[in-house]
Amino acid sequence: MREAYDVTVEEDAASSATVGEASSGVVLLGKYRLKELLGVGAFAKVYHATNVSTGQSVAIKALSKREVFRGGLMEHVEREISIMRRLHHPHTLKLFEVLASKSKIYFVLELAKGGELFDKVAQGRFSEDLSRRYFHQLISAVRYCHSAGVFHRDLKLDNLLIDENMDLKVSDFGLSALKDHVRPDGLLHTVCGTPAYVAPEMLAKKGYEGAKVDVWSCGVILFVLAAGYLPFNDHNLAAMYWKICRGQFRFPRWTSPELRRFLSRLLDKNPETRITVDEIIRDPWFSKGYREVRVQHKEFESDHEQSRHRGLNAFDLISFSSGLDMSGLFTDSGSSDCVERIVSGGKPANIMEKVEGVAKAEGVIVRKEANGEGAKLEGQRGNIMIRIGIYRLTDKLVVVEAKRRERRAGNGKGTKFWEDKLNPELQRLVYKAGDQK
């Protein structure tokens, strides 16, 4: 099975469980019992697991933090989490939660028991009716994503999964783009995706519209479903790109005239005249038996709106939200920094006043930031350094972040001050569900 959920896992001795090939029966982080290995990709392993409390079957995608940082994939991971948390559609794969240990990041995902759509087509091409059924579900999901400002940019059969009801689930949003990524010219410019599915305008490297390249990829998918092979394929990559840019392909003899006409509109090399998603819905071949899936978008702030919250980007807000425990995620596993966070209902000024009081009593110097929502704590000889940051999460809640480092090896004063003095006081400020602050 190709890696459909996508991003290597090295064994995690720091975790409560070792994730390895013989992992059946191991309980991960006290929450999920691992079963069989489902797939291995370039940057991840995916396991079948069950929730020890509910018995629910899930897929766990395990990523090595070291490989994520080393490979410069943090943005990739952040984007995938950010996007999957905002999508709630019957035909997009659900992200239940994200967990982290000192060296691993774990995506807990909906389990698609049917595997990849690719494997089904590899057994033989689909009838037009079955092709239409899956294309209905694909377009429903893509249309929903576009309305939420999400452009997938890597739609392919490998990223389309099948659940236990034989329904389609779109997965792998790591290469997706948001409307916020569009440049002033109104276009996206990052060249990405899979060669056989990439749109000609993306190859031209002059900018492209995310919605239109997704439509092209959908056209390639529909062609494969009905024909059993790719419309553009060649062992020589340059030759394949030449065919894509010229829109050069042949229909198999068994395709109906209606399907040929529809595919010609999907695989139109000119993005200006290519069919749009809204036009797809009205096409005679497509509309046969189509039922609109209506899903209400979950409220989600744009990156611009989130920028009003000091220092918090979209990924930060998601990581502090319900159902996510990512206490170990933000620091490189090779870093000497220790990072701890609490959510508090206290006012930033009162929290900072508490920090200053503890520091003063212990002879620790406080260097406050100009905005009053952050400070550095240093010992008289510079042997302690703790940075306190206070970030607005909601109107009533803030996140207090403590990053600490000992400047002098072997000097335990920083750890002692943190563990015996400052941390106990901060723990008194932790927000509890019944607080009325």
Q: From edge to edge, which strands make up the β-sheet containing 365-368?
A: 338-344, 398-406, 384-392, 374-378, 365-368
Given a contact cutoff of 8 angstroms between Cβ atoms, the answer to whether 4 and 116 are in contact is: yes
Count helices and strands (H / E) in the chain. 15, 16
Catalytic-residue membership of 154: yes
Given a contact cutoff of 8 angstroms between Cβ atoms, the answer to whether 415 and 406 are in contact is: yes
Given a contact cutoff of 8 angstroms between Cβ atoms, the answer to whether 215 and 277 are in contact is: yes
Given a contact cutoff of 8 angstroms between Cβ atoms, the answer to whether 100 and 150 are in contact is: no
Backbone angles phi, psi at 46, to 5 degrees: -120, 130
Given a contact cutoff of 8 angstroms between Cβ atoms, the answer to whether 98 and 106 are in contact is: yes
Which token pair is 205?
A: 């490297």
Q: Which pairs with CB-CB distance under 8 Å and at least 24 residues apart come from 360-363?
A: 361/421, 362/417, 362/421
Q: How far is CA 341 from CA 186, 399, 417, 428, in A?
A: 38, 7, 17, 13
Sign of CA dihedral 241, 242, 243, 244: positive
| Catalytic member of 154, 158, 172, 316 | 154
Measured between alpha carbons, how far apart are the two ends of the chain, in Å?
51
The DSSP call for residue 421 is I
Alpha-carbon distance of 348 to 356, in angstroms, equals: 12
Per 3-state DSSP, what percentage of the chain is helix, strand, and coil (rounded to 5)? 35, 20, 45
* Residue numbers annotated as active site: 154
